[in-house]
Protein backbone atom coordinates (compact mmCIF):
# COMPACT_ATOMS: atom_id res chain seq x y z
CA UNK A 1 0.00 0.00 0.00
CA UNK A 2 1.45 3.36 -1.03
CA UNK A 3 1.45 6.24 1.41
CA UNK A 4 2.43 8.97 -1.04
CA UNK A 5 0.24 11.72 -2.49
CA UNK A 6 0.32 9.93 -5.88
CA UNK A 7 -0.84 6.32 -5.88
CA UNK A 8 -1.36 5.62 -9.60
CA UNK A 9 0.78 2.50 -10.14
CA UNK A 10 1.81 3.22 -13.73
CA UNK A 11 2.74 6.82 -12.95
CA UNK A 12 4.75 5.77 -9.91
CA UNK A 13 6.59 3.07 -11.89
CA UNK A 14 7.44 5.46 -14.74
CA UNK A 15 8.65 8.13 -12.30
CA UNK A 16 10.75 5.57 -10.44
CA UNK A 17 12.62 4.76 -13.64
CA UNK A 18 12.97 8.42 -14.66
CA UNK A 19 16.45 9.60 -13.81
CA UNK A 20 18.07 13.00 -13.96
CA UNK A 21 17.14 14.84 -17.20
CA UNK A 22 14.24 12.49 -18.02
CA UNK A 23 11.19 14.24 -19.41
CA UNK A 24 7.67 13.96 -18.04
CA UNK A 25 4.85 15.39 -20.14
CA UNK A 26 1.57 16.66 -18.74
CA UNK A 27 -0.72 16.87 -21.77
CA UNK A 28 -3.98 18.70 -22.15
CA UNK A 29 -7.05 16.97 -23.54
CA UNK A 30 -6.31 18.17 -27.08
CA UNK A 31 -2.76 16.88 -27.58
CA UNK A 32 -2.71 13.93 -30.01
CA UNK A 33 -0.73 11.79 -27.58
CA UNK A 34 -0.94 8.68 -29.75
CA UNK A 35 1.27 10.45 -32.28
CA UNK A 36 3.66 11.74 -29.61
CA UNK A 37 4.85 8.47 -28.10
CA UNK A 38 8.62 8.09 -28.07
CA UNK A 39 10.71 4.93 -27.75
CA UNK A 40 10.92 5.07 -23.93
CA UNK A 41 7.65 6.73 -23.00
CA UNK A 42 4.80 5.26 -21.02
CA UNK A 43 1.34 6.67 -21.72
CA UNK A 44 -1.22 7.23 -18.97
CA UNK A 45 -4.72 8.47 -19.79
CA UNK A 46 -6.37 10.43 -16.98
CA UNK A 47 -8.84 12.17 -19.28
CA UNK A 48 -12.04 10.49 -18.13
CA UNK A 49 -14.14 13.60 -18.80
CA UNK A 50 -13.38 17.13 -19.94
CA UNK A 51 -11.88 18.94 -16.96
CA UNK A 52 -11.13 15.75 -14.99
CA UNK A 53 -8.27 15.56 -14.04
CA UNK A 54 -6.88 18.99 -14.86
CA UNK A 55 -3.22 19.73 -15.57
CA UNK A 56 -2.61 21.75 -12.39
CA UNK A 57 -3.85 18.91 -10.17
CA UNK A 58 -1.54 16.48 -11.94
CA UNK A 59 1.41 18.89 -11.68
CA UNK A 60 0.81 19.33 -7.94
CA UNK A 61 0.93 15.56 -7.50
CA UNK A 62 4.10 15.16 -9.56
CA UNK A 63 5.82 17.89 -7.56
CA UNK A 64 5.08 16.04 -4.33
CA UNK A 65 6.90 12.89 -5.43
CA UNK A 66 9.52 13.97 -7.98
CA UNK A 67 12.18 16.71 -8.15
CA UNK A 68 11.76 19.00 -11.16
CA UNK A 69 14.48 21.29 -12.48
CA UNK A 70 13.01 22.62 -15.72
CA UNK A 71 9.81 23.23 -17.67
CA UNK A 72 8.94 23.81 -21.30
CA UNK A 73 5.62 25.06 -22.68
CA UNK A 74 4.46 25.57 -26.23
CA UNK A 75 4.67 29.15 -27.49
CA UNK A 76 1.23 30.65 -27.82
CA UNK A 77 0.11 33.05 -30.54
CA UNK A 78 0.24 36.68 -29.39
CA UNK A 79 -3.55 36.94 -29.33
CA UNK A 80 -4.08 33.70 -27.37
CA UNK A 81 -4.63 33.42 -23.62
CA UNK A 82 -2.34 31.08 -21.73
CA UNK A 83 -2.92 32.08 -18.10
CA UNK A 84 -2.17 28.49 -17.15
CA UNK A 85 1.50 29.24 -17.87
CA UNK A 86 1.47 31.72 -14.98
CA UNK A 87 -0.10 29.10 -12.72
CA UNK A 88 2.61 26.63 -13.75
CA UNK A 89 5.34 29.16 -12.96
CA UNK A 90 3.84 29.80 -9.54
CA UNK A 91 3.69 26.07 -8.70
CA UNK A 92 7.11 25.26 -10.14
CA UNK A 93 8.99 28.07 -8.44
CA UNK A 94 12.69 28.33 -9.23
CA UNK A 95 13.17 26.09 -12.27
CA UNK A 96 14.48 26.81 -15.75
CA UNK A 97 11.64 27.91 -18.03
CA UNK A 98 11.37 27.82 -21.80
CA UNK A 99 8.70 28.40 -24.44
CA UNK A 100 9.17 26.38 -27.62
CA UNK A 101 7.74 26.63 -31.13
CA UNK A 102 4.85 24.21 -31.69
CA UNK A 103 6.49 21.66 -34.01
CA UNK A 104 9.77 21.71 -32.06
CA UNK A 105 7.73 21.14 -28.90
CA UNK A 106 6.10 18.06 -30.46
CA UNK A 107 9.53 16.75 -31.52
CA UNK A 108 10.81 17.31 -27.97
CA UNK A 109 8.03 15.09 -26.61
CA UNK A 110 9.04 12.29 -29.01
CA UNK A 111 12.65 12.26 -27.75
CA UNK A 112 14.04 9.14 -26.06
CA UNK A 113 14.36 11.17 -22.82
CA UNK A 114 10.55 11.24 -22.44
CA UNK A 115 9.65 8.52 -19.97
CA UNK A 116 6.06 9.46 -19.12
CA UNK A 117 3.17 11.17 -20.91
CA UNK A 118 0.10 11.87 -18.79
CA UNK A 119 -2.94 12.97 -20.75
CA UNK A 120 -5.30 14.98 -18.59
CA UNK A 121 -8.81 16.25 -19.12
CA UNK A 122 -7.46 19.81 -19.17
CA UNK A 123 -9.49 21.95 -21.56
CA UNK A 124 -7.46 25.17 -21.50
CA UNK A 125 -5.43 25.68 -24.65
CA UNK A 126 -1.63 25.72 -24.55
CA UNK A 127 -1.64 23.71 -21.31
CA UNK A 128 0.88 21.10 -22.46
CA UNK A 129 3.95 21.00 -20.25
CA UNK A 130 7.27 19.15 -20.49
CA UNK A 131 9.00 18.73 -17.14
CA UNK A 132 12.68 17.89 -16.74
CA UNK A 133 13.38 15.61 -13.80
CA UNK A 134 15.99 16.91 -11.36
CA UNK A 135 18.01 15.16 -8.70
CA UNK A 136 17.15 14.30 -5.13
CA UNK A 137 19.49 16.36 -2.96
CA UNK A 138 21.05 14.92 0.14
CA UNK A 139 20.47 16.77 3.42
CA UNK A 140 24.09 18.00 3.50
CA UNK A 141 23.94 19.30 -0.10
CA UNK A 142 22.64 22.79 -0.56
CA UNK A 143 24.35 24.78 -3.32
CA UNK A 144 24.27 22.73 -6.51
For the segment 70-126, what is each residue's pLDDT rounded down to a tens digit?
Answer: 999 999 988 988 899 999 999 999 999 999 999 999 999 999 999 999 999 999 999
> If you write DSSP's letter for every residue of 104-123 in order, what string do you get?
HHHHHHTSTTEEEEEE----
Give the residue from 52, 45, 53 showing the smallest Cα distance to 116: 45
pTM higher than 0.85: yes
Residues 32-59: pLDDT tens digits? 999 999 999 999 999 999 988 999 999 9
Please state at what angle helix 55-65 crosses helix 83-92, rounded to 10 degrees: 10
Domain count of the fold of the chain: 1
Do the domain assignments include residue 144?
no
- Provide the domain limits for residue 70: 9-133
Do the domain assignments include residue 101?
yes
Give the residue from 36, 53, 26, 33 showing the smallest Cα distance to 118: 26
What pLDDT sits at residue 144? 57
Rounded to whole angstroms, the Cα distance separating 52 from 2 reads: 23
CATH number of the domain enclosing 95: 3.40.1650.10
What pLDDT sits at residue 142? 61
Do the domain assignments include residue 92?
yes
More confident residue, 64 or 143: 64
> Residue 4: pLDDT band by 50, 70, 90 thresholds?
confident
Amino acid sequence: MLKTPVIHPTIMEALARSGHFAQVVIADGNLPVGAMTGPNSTMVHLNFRPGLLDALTVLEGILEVCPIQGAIVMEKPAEANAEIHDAYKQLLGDVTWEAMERWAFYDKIREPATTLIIQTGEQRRFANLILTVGVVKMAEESNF
